[in-house]
Amino acid sequence: MKTDREFAADVTRKLQAAGFTALFAGGCVRDDLLGRTPKDYDVATNATPDQVRDLFGHKRTLPIGESFGVITVLGPRSVQPIEVATFRRDGGYSDGRRPDSVEFTDAREDAERRDFTINGMFFDPLTDTVIDYVGGQDDLKLKQIRAIGDAEARIEEDKLRMLRGVRFAATYGFSIEAHTLAAVQKRAPEIDAVSPERIGAELVRMFGHSSFVTAYRLLIESNLWGEVLPQEFLGDPESEKTRLEELNRLRISNGHSNQVAAVIAILVRSALEGQRGLLARLKNAWKLSNELTSSIRWIVNAIPVLSNCHQRKWSEVQPWLIHADATAALDVVEAVGENIRASVEFARAKILLPKEKLNPDPLVTGQDLIDSGIAPGPNFKTILQSVRDGQLDGEIETREQALKRLATL
């Protein structure tokens, strides 16, 4: 079966055989050189979108990005489609985010419109050569993120580049080259030109990566944190230091932990204390999903319960431990709590119990209430809850005992 890389090389070969220049471009070249598997391969060429479509056939191409010079070429079922982009130079940027127009040009100018040197290289898979007009290979060796050309001008064109730079630095463990960092620090307030969706997507990627501590540190150092975080959540510099220490202590449990929710919960929990509705502001500012927002809220609420859960009644603790985010909440408790060792050990051991121990089926149901002549109403839930608590706390062990308890309620 063909790999994505082989298909990308096929596409490149076919373009070259037809007399065009065609090269792997951008992120995939960077990832190849770093020994990482690229998410996707992009091909850049001097063929125009029309020529690309003619060469590969209209059935095997999609013109989704045609206005930017991008044609999607479909491959066999086993591979991802490849985006073939005509070398381009971007026209003016009047909105601080997207080029007003694009003009087709050559490889060098196409490299120069890209954001960072490590993202600005080409690779010819047929001759195995890197084509590097922007010094990307040097910066890969130096492990640094450097804007192509004048950093401030490049940020002015597209403010999203500031967050991308921080993300690449964090996730690759690179530094941000001094001029590039200074430009971000100066231009950070302009990040508001970027849509909440894009800001949120970048932050979620950073907080979902193992380098989340570095990401937070770089967000602060670059002045971006104070701009992307809604005012109401901003603490003093001292609290930023505390958050950093807490994130440093955060160990994400293998497998079942909701890392992004855990990280954000740590970053915002003190602001949320006693402030109902505040989380909605964050949800809006970063266009977080309902699911992620609920997880963050749930984790923040779980912290006080789980912090001393071994001293609480089981019927109170159990509903928290059967929740999908319980592991993430325990990870957070371990990072932020004091004197929590016994509770966390207790809770982690309980979570591992088989379902019939951790969360046994209820002994009675609403139907049993109806059968015993209790009229359906708001107290139904209270009654069932009281029987459930009795069951969990070991006061009621059998269905007979449960039905007897119903009769007394």
Residues at the interface with Mg ion (CB under 5 A): 27
8 Å CB contact between 342 and 310: yes
Alpha carbon of 4 to those of 38, 39, 56, 66, 73: distances in Å? 9, 9, 17, 22, 12
Please pick, from the candidates 88, 114, 243, 405, the single residue that binds ligand ATP as defined by CB under 6 A. Answer: 114
Distance CA 241, CA 94 (A): 37
Distance, CA of 73 to chain centre: 28
Cβ proximity to ligand ATP: between 71 and 296 the closer is 71
Tokens for 121? 């290289």
H helix runs in 250-371, sequence order: 259-272, 278-286, 290-307, 314-321, 326-336, 341-351, 355-358, 366-371
| Residue among 4, 115, 325, 331 that touches ligand ATP (CB under 6 A) | 115
Q: Which of 13, 36, 39, 179 is close enough to bind ligand ATP by CB under 6 A?
A: 39
Number of Cβ atoms within 10 Å of the Cβ of 77: 7
Q: Tell me how far apart the alpha carbons of residues 112 and 89 are, in angstroms, rounded to a whole number.
A: 8
Minimum CB–partner distance for residue 265 and ligand ATP (Å): 25
Q: Is 26 in the site for ligand ATP (CB under 6 A)?
A: yes
Figure out which of the listed residues 27, 136, 165, 200 binds ligand ATP, where binding follows CB under 6 A. 27
For ligand ATP, the closer CB: 39 or 404:
39
Q: Which of residues 119, 144, 180, 257 is near ligand ATP by CB under 6 A?
A: 119
Minimum CB–partner distance for residue 190 and ligand ATP (Å): 14
Least separation, in Å, of the C-beta of 80 and ligand ATP? Answer: 12
Nearest residue to 121 (alpha-carbon basis) of 106, 103, 138, 137: 137
- Helices then strands, counting H and E runs in the chain, come out as 22, 11
Minimum CB–partner distance for residue 199 and ligand ATP (Å): 13
Nearer to ligand ATP, 107 or 160 (CB): 160
Pick the closer one to ligand ATP by CB: 218 or 272: 218
DSSP-derived letter for residue 274 is T
Task: Supply the minimum distance, in Å, between the C-beta of residue 24 and Mg ion.
Answer: 11
202 belongs to the binding site for ligand ATP (CB under 6 A) = no
The least distance separating ligand ATP from the CB of residue 170, rounded to whole angstroms, comes to 12
Which residues sit at the interface with ligand ATP, rule CB under 6 A?
26-27, 39, 42, 114-115, 119-120, 158, 160-161, 164
